Chain A
Amino acid sequence: MLEKLFGQKKQKAEQEQEVKQESQKVKTAFYWATSCGGCEEAILDVREKLFDVLDKIDILFWPVAVDTKYSDVEALEDKLLDAVFINGGISNIEQKEVVKLLRKKAKAVIAFGSCAHMGGIPGLRNLYSIEDGLERVYFTTPSTYNPERALPSEKSELPGGGEVTLPPLLPNVLPLEEVISVDFYVPGCPPLPETILKALEVLLSGDIPEDNVLGAESKSLCNFCDRNQSKPENLSVERYYRVHEKAIPPDKCLLAEGVICLGPVTRGGCGEKCINVNMPCRGCYGPLPDIDDMGLRFLSNIASITCAGEESTDESKMRDAIATIKDPVGTFYRFSYPDSSINKLVRRR
């Protein structure tokens, strides 16, 4: 058994040598932080086309795919890795440390997917304090029976003996660039196969767009949407409808029908897959190049088109119209809350 182990080690060392010698190939690594795994599934969905790209790439570290450990990454020369892809936001101490290590060893770090890009949906937990979150999860959920008020803790003793640890949570979910410097972004929740391929092509070609966002368009989704033609010149919405409150005709612009759709502020390139099944865009491809705060820009957009045709001075009409918009923070900032100027303001305090 021991020989097998040593044998394996030798093979591995040999392998590593071979890999290091193949300097023509782009050396990559992949890591997931607070990730749902959808980004990994998205890579799998690239399927056969991935192999064309794989010929040009070497994966030196991918906790589920390649037999290397953190200690192997530590042992690499700094900046040996050409490109490190990280998906998921940063929400605990361990993830923070791992991405910092990868940053040291990387020439370029790519934030892959909405969570690494902007915090993602798990970033909505920044609306609540950790204490409130723990209270709900471990004490007040109706199925939880916890009269001792036990809580997961950093160090604890197993029943039957043995000390074990858990990595502590950070008070907020952070986009990757708030923990390490990020060179490029591949947007989407998840980035679609077409986007991933395009991003890899761009990376390998070296022809990088100025804003460092790869694979997606720099024009809004509306530009590519089939329903755009049905959007009137002077759009005015008198009231808004939630997705269950209206049947949307298959060829009409959703916003024009009064359904909140983030198309105007969101990058195109996703094929409008949600629109194609009559559901509105929720902005997972992130903001257009000139937008810093996606939610606030969309707020302005919506304010502009609400009761826009009104020459009247009716404040109450405007109030009523705005009141039909429910949960603006969760809708305008669905994927981008940690990246918002508002959350950053709150976090700084």
Chain B
Amino acid sequence: MNNGPVVVAFCCNYCSYEAADRAGSAKKNYPENLRIIRVPCSGRVEPEFIVKAFENGADGVMILGCHPGSCHFKTGNHKAYRRYLLLKEILRAAGIDEERVKLDWVGASEDDKLVRVSTEFVEKIRELDTGGG
């Protein structure tokens, strides 16, 4: 059992989840401690989910959606982005390190990007945890 941080990644069905799938098939390893939760669209991710993830033990939360303009549901990812911006501000004011939440755009074919951003993020969280963030 690894003792690294617990990181939850909300991945949208049509883009980032697809990328994660491909990464897996191509044996491009993304971090073990990444717990992927598939959602139909990044716009499905309500800020309550993110807070709930923290409540349930997550040390970091990612929201990975389609690039702006490419969302299967047209504007779901835009909503996700705007919610993310506001949530970060509120977390910061509340005394929770806003860097523990990260939103990024990962297209269906961007398995390399998925690996990169998730690895970087887990590292960031590990740093925050050990540095007392």
Contacts and interface: CB of A to CB of B under 8 A. Distances in A.
Does a CB–CB distance below 8 Å link A and B in the complex? Answer: yes
Contacts of B90: 295, 299, 328-329, 332-333, 342
Nearest to A129: B95
Task: Specify the main secondary structure of chain B where it touches its partner.
Answer: helix
A329 B95 CA distance: 11
Contact of B89 (A307, A328, A348): A328
Task: Specify the main secondary structure of chain A where it touches its partner.
Answer: helix
Interface stretch (A92-100, A114-122, A186-194, A310-318): A310-318
B50 to A, nearest CB: 9
Given A303-B83, A307-B82, A315-B81, A343 B94 contact: yes
A313 B74 CA distance: 10
A345 B50 CA distance: 12
Contact of A313 (B52, B68, B83): B68
Contact of A127 (B46, B79, B86, B93): B93
Contacts of A181: none
B48 A303 contact: no
B37 interface: no
Interface string A18-36: 0000000000000000000
A325 interface: yes
B79 A302 contact: no
Nearest to B96: A346
B86 A302 contact: yes
Interface in A162-207: none
B30 interface: no
A308 B43 CA distance: 13
The 3 A-B residue pairs with the shortest CB-CB distance, nearest first, are: A313-B68, A313-B69, A303-B82
6 contacts: A303-B86, A311-B74, A313-B78, A329-B90, A344-B55, A346-B95
Interface of A: 127, 292-293, 295-297, 299-300, 302-304, 306-308, 310-311, 313-315, 318-319, 321-322, 325, 327-330, 332-333, 341-346, 348
Given A127-B94, A303-B79, 13 more contacts: A127-B93, A302-B82, A303-B82, A308-B75, A310-B78, A318-B78, A318-B81, A327-B93, A328-B89, A328-B93, A341-B52, A343-B94, A348-B55
